[in-house]
Amino acid sequence: MKTFILSLLLVCMAFSCKTVTKTNKEHDHTQLVRIDSVLIEHYYDLHDTIFVKVPVISTSNKECDSLCQIEVTKLLQTIETHKRQGEQAQGIYYDNDKNKLVIYQDISKQLSVYKNKEQDLFHTQEKEHTKIVKEPYIPKFVIFLSFFGVISILLGLFWSIRKIKNQ
């Protein structure tokens, strides 16, 4: 009987001692991020011409007007430029028949490509420490009943031992 009671007390004591669970987690993460980007600009053909009308000189003196007009026309006829680079051309000339100064520009299709490369190294480190203490919830009436039960058992043992000794 004594061994049964002692083993019962040992089992109750073993279950009543809860251990604390500790966990340590460490995460170390390194990531290489590369971003390659390509930007393409596309320009279409451009054919542009500007006509500037040269006004006729008119003053009160007709002889002066004609002489001035001849000189202005000679000067304008000397203006003639032409520039070509690959498929692009631009220039200025004077059209004597229309009495206009012509400015032109011809630009072919163009494609501009820009490349960009970015590279970053990200390093993240996480540490997590967890401590779990298990404390089960025990209602107050259960504690009262268990205390009352222990006192009853002790009184019952004391009374039975006394009765056995008296016989």
Mean pLDDT score of the chain: 79
- Using DSSP's 3-state secondary structure scheme, residue 45 falls into coil
The single residue listed with the structure tokens 């203006």 is: 79
pTM of the entire predicted model: 0.41
The whole-angstrom separation of Cα 156 and Cα 7 is 18
**Sheet strands side by side (includes 81-85):** 46-53, 100-107, 88-95, 81-85
What per-residue confidence (pLDDT) applies to 12? 61
What per-residue confidence (pLDDT) applies to 91? 93
DSSP 57: P
Angle at 141 between CA 139 and CA 142, to 5 degrees: 70
